[in-house]
Chains A and B, each alone.
Chain A
Amino acid sequence: MPAVPDEQLDAFVSRSTIEATSEEYRILPSSFNPEDPSLGAITRRVDWEWRSCTKVLEDGGAKGVMMRLPAFWQLESLLHRAAKRAHAYIFINDLKNMPVGAAAIHLAEVDAVVSSAQDSFEFSKYLEKNNHKFPRTWLIINPIENAVETPEPLRVRAVHVRHEVHAFPGVPLLVQCSRLSSRNPVEFHIADEFSSTQTNENTWELESVAPDLRISRIRMQMNETGQCECKLPCMQLI
């Protein structure tokens, strides 16, 4: 899956480097990969809210949400605000400390997990292997470069899994409503901060309509598979 074109990312990061010292902007990394030699900052307006995450937590009736995302993605404050909007509390779990994460589900009524795609495999495997309780809701954040897949332990249990595909950490491109989450293979809606144009049979270009993003020509290989009950087009990644 192609990511943001290099020349555009350079411009974005460069502009963000200037905005990074402005109090109106929040700083996020320009890559999911901490080893990326070109790692820079991108910016989002400080009042930007992760509404798709709030919706997932609200739909799942979450009481407590556990963050299992790499801390350098800088999503903790955004997740905290999303959880507050959903009247859920937040718990930050060190990715390596899975026993405490499992205990939070068991002892502290944490019933929702927000994790990276990689961690969704590792943590669900740990819960399964040790016969631990699973949360009811699990939001998986997929980097744009990766294939989207639901881990087996989550599929076989009644965990309400939702996927999001992000262009950068904190920039959702593709999201799921509650109806799409139960479908297999995985289908998405285009996030409302992006408009889309079909450039050929299976290629779509996404362009941000959010004033603080200003990114365009994100090419994605996907098919439109119909209309969801929520009236939005359904997109399936190829």
Chain B
Amino acid sequence: MHAIDIMTFEALQALVALATKPGGSDFYRSRYQLTAPAPLHITSIDEWRQLPMLGKDDFIATPLRNRLFVPLSEVDHLRTSSGTSGKPPLFTPHTRARIIDDRLRFHDFNNTFMVFTVPMRPYWQEEFQKKHGKPARVIVFDPRNPAASVRLAQIAGVDGFSCFIYQVALIGKHMKLEKINERIRYIEVTGELCTRVHYDYMKETFPNATIVHTYGASEVSDDIGIPCRALDGTEPCGVYHAMPEYYLELIDSTTGASIDPAVGAEGDLVISGFPTDRIATPLIRFRIGDTARVVEETCHQHGTWSFTIAGRTEMDFLKVPGGIVRADETIRVIALFNDRITDSFELHRYERATPDGPKIQIELRVQPRGDTDLIQLAENIASKLRVGPSFTYADGVRDQRYLPLVCSTFTPSTELQKTRRLVAH
């Protein structure tokens, strides 16, 4: 079993003690079934590994106040998931700005920076720049008004930006119109795998930019991993090491057993955060739902094991700009056309190069009954298939976010499990 140093173990002990202190939130005490009026004191890493893991559903099921470890007045902001997964949205409270000092390894931040607010709040960016003696000037990118945002970026002298990968083409289009694309020296992308199509687009559109892929989640106050290096096109995702404030574990997604972080090992990523300050909700053994693959046992620069993200552990949806295509929603829509197709399907998501940059295309592989017109079927399904609470795939095609949905035929494989019906290419 991979060794754990004494400093890390003591931090884990302190984290458990803090989260189970009587008189505060009952969130962890009830999960660990503690009745004694004392915090839980773990004495070995084996005891740590026996602590139950948490998932997003545990948070969703608990009212906000019942998972708060600070007074409500100390909460700075809430973040949330998109609300398109079919479950109630999870609102996660945070007490402080997300400031990752390591970003200075890639960019000087001497000029105005543009951010999209979901992965990078403007006031986080301002605090970060201020902390490092840089001008605290930030432009917020508004994907609903991209031309106006990029116009302001042009005036303000923006030379770097942070956004989701799927927004890069939109930003690129408007930056080319404003003739500032070659001025961009740094791009921070997050949210999805960076396909070769996307990487090539970014290098062509922003030839002077260093591109860094960050890895975070709305449930975690900071980034989950610090990028070890900039993207160079050889890997679809960044390579990360754990932030000093976080303890990462790999587990077998089926058995929950710990996996040693040896090179090439894959497992479900489990996150715990050390209580370095007043955290709204400490994280102890939180399963983020991503499969991580170990790249190096010892990162040359940072000493800890490094990893990349291989994909979602149990993929029952595919992300698309502005929403997700869910397996259960696809089942619902397919059932509407059961006179033309069977209920078997596979859903494939592709990134296609277009003159306007990379765009998503969904291919739905179906089994037709008789002589079904697949072109007509694709149009019918796209108009019914919801990718957001009030937004269909056809709406996204009309808004030029996605390429038209296509239907093709396939022969179902008995080896395909339910979770393998959705494939991101």
Contacts and interface: CB of A to CB of B under 8 A. Distances in A.
A76 B122 CA distance: 7
B173 to A, nearest CB: 15
Contacts of A103: 83, 88-89, 91
A162 interface: no
B121 A76 contact: yes
A46 B155 contact: no
B76 to A, nearest CB: 6
A232 to B, nearest CB: 30
Contact of A20 (B82, B145, B155): B155
A91 B390 CA distance: 21
Interface string B75-88: 11110101100001
Interface stretch (A26-34, A50-58, A134-142): A26-34
Contacts of B63: 107
Contact of A39 (B76, B137, B148): B148
Nearest to A13: B155
Contacts of B336: none
Interface in B152-187: 152, 155-157
Nearest to A21: B157
B112 A91 contact: no
Given A74-B139, A81-B123, A95 B80 contact: no
Interface string A16-27: 010011010111
Contacts of B151: 39-40
B388 interface: yes
A27 B144 contact: no
A122 interface: no
Interface stretch (A63-71, A203-211, A223-231): A63-71
For the residues of A in contact with B, the DSSP-based class is mixed
B118 to A, nearest CB: 8
B88 A27 contact: no
Contacts of A158: none
A23 B110 CA distance: 10
A41 B77 contact: no
- Residue with the highest number of chain A CB atoms closer than 10 Å, among B75, B138, B157: B75
Contact of A34 (B112, B147, B156, B391): B147
A17 B157 CA distance: 10
Contacts of A29: 148, 152
Given A20-B155, A71-B149, A107-B89, 19 more contacts: A20-B112, A23-B135, A27-B139, A27-B155, A29-B148, A34-B145, A63-B73, A72-B140, A72-B145, A74-B140, A77-B126, A80-B123, A89-B93, A91-B80, A92-B77, A96-B144, A98-B389, A99-B390, A100-B389
12 contacts: A21-B112, A34-B142, A34-B145, A64-B78, A71-B141, A76-B140, A80-B77, A87-B73, A97-B389, A99-B83, A99-B390, A109-B65
Closest A-B pairs by Cβ, 5 of them: A23-B135, A71-B142, A34-B148, A72-B142, A34-B145
